[in-house]
Structure 1
């Protein structure tokens, strides 16, 4: 009788262990699914990550930096001059790109990471520049001091990179008025940026539709050595609105 009792106790304990293990696995699966869902929602509606494929924003952003983008801009939070903005190619800014072949497993992993915002396979289809001109702005360069002006107000731009010996904010002069629902974008690396200045032969004449904006970059998240907040330098554009016609 004792042996039977011991066997029953052991069977009950084993059943409890199996049930506990199953409950643990269930909880882990629920947590995983919820985490994926939350990450997907955050990536879709709030923030997402991009990497920097070119040097057009140096030294603000270096090649292969990863940035976090606030996707509430501009639908909820308005765009401001000086914002570092990620936007879809308006057409003709980027060369045609052939997608590289990937092994099925690698492609599946990359798809999942992109789904939750940990990978950005479409970074090469987007651009990142600094917003200089809003709709209606009159943007010109360069004055006698080599400065760019917005609505007649000269800009002292601490964020730009110029080659040694150069003082002009743009290698080439220009004089544009930004149309309605369009933006004028320029790279911080002014002598090595194919931005609004050099896309005048595209269908939109170098202007970027507001609807193409994905969001405003607000932090460099990787590598750790490059971590930094990305400001929009409101003092640079102080008084610009007063000069609008």
Structure 2
């Protein structure tokens, strides 16, 4: 390499390196008190988006779902799949809005303005339940079109199939407190029950006592509870119990009711007699 070429390369190298040195100058860092509000705002927006469209935390307010859920547990609820048209299925634990008259009116208890403001912020992002929310949590026992049999001294039956329910509270009886007999669930509705059958005002109680006959509209369902997230000692998933996987549940649900079929056969018999005296 000639001395002239070396000189040109050195000069090119300097020309290229100078902008790099100038561009690599340190950027002025913003003070933490300037960046903190921005980070908090981003975190709140993300939390609000997750709460609105994906997953929300709910607190268990009573003992009606023992021993599956304890009072004070926090569960995570899937709110995404209902947006795509998925409907609750038998055996799922769901959170739903009060269909009307299931919960008493409750006034907010917090009077301290600072604590009330903090609670409102945590409620806004879904980390605490609202004091005026009217949400309940129960297990779906039957869906629209199903026939439920709930009699004293017997296991609950769905479409004539008895359910094995090891998830109910020890010592509870499936239907003894509120035996409603045979109930047909309307399309677009659910029949829900608490796992603590002797301490749950569920579809059985409201079928006997309230307007709406204890049926929960599918549109009132917020989502399915799929995990117990808090406290960590209670951490567990909430799968559908095996008893709801019995294929006879769907087979018998698709068949016409036994009484209707019998009536139809009797009518055909009468018609044949009239035609052939």
Q: Which TM class, normalised by the smaller chain length?
A: 0.7 to 0.9
Q: Determine the C-alpha separation between the residues in 1 that align with 2:113 and 2:68.
A: 36
Q: Secondary structure at the match of 1:220?
A: strand
Question: Of the candidates 169, 175, 185, which is equivalent to residue 170 of structure 1?
Answer: 175
Q: Determine the C-alpha separation between the residues in 2 that align with 1:149 and 1:73.
A: 28
| Match in the other structure for 2:141 | 132
Question: Shift in Å at residue 234 of structure 1?
Answer: 4.2
| Match in the other structure for 1:100 | 109
Question: Of the candidates 91, 96, 99, which is equivalent to residue 90 of structure 1?
Answer: 99
| Match in the other structure for 1:65 | 73
Q: Which has the higher helix share?
A: 2
Counterpart check, 1:198 vs 2:205: yes
Query: So what's the TM-score if we normalise by structure 1?
Result: 0.84
Q: Is the 8 A contact 2:140 2:191 kept in 1?
A: yes
Say which one has the larger Rg: 2
Query: So what's the TM-score if we normalise by structure 2?
Result: 0.75
Q: Secondary structure at the match of 2:48?
A: helix
Q: Is the 8 A contact 1:147 1:154 kept in 2?
A: yes
Q: Is the 8 A contact 2:97 2:220 kept in 1?
A: yes
Q: Determine the C-alpha separation between the residues in 2 that align with 1:111 and 1:101.
A: 11
Q: Is the 8 A contact 1:162 1:191 kept in 2?
A: no
Size of the aligned set, in residue pairs, is 225
CA RMSD of aligned residues (A): 2.3
Which runs of no fewer than 5 residues in structure 2 stay unpaired?
A: 1-25, 256-277
Question: Of the candidates 200, 214, 225, which is equivalent to residue 233 of structure 2?
Answer: 225
Question: Shift in Å at residue 141 of structure 1?
Answer: 2.3
Q: Secondary structure at the match of 1:175?
A: strand
Q: Is the 8 A contact 1:51 1:123 kept in 2?
A: no
Q: Determine the C-alpha separation between the residues in 1 that align with 2:243 and 2:218.
A: 23
Inter-CA distance 71–61: structure 2 relative to 1 (3 Å threshold): same
Which runs of no fewer than 5 residues in structure 1 stay unpaired?
A: 1-16
Q: Determine the C-alpha separation between the residues in 2 that align with 1:202 and 1:121.
A: 25
Question: Shift in Å at residue 235 of structure 1?
Answer: 4.0
Higher relative contact order (CA 8 A, sep 6+): 1
Q: Determine the C-alpha separation between the residues in 2 that align with 1:235 and 1:147.
A: 12
| Match in the other structure for 2:40 | 32
Q: Is the 8 A contact 1:68 1:219 kept in 2?
A: yes
Q: Is the 8 A contact 2:58 2:75 kept in 1?
A: yes
Worse-superposed segment, 180-189 or 99-108: 99-108
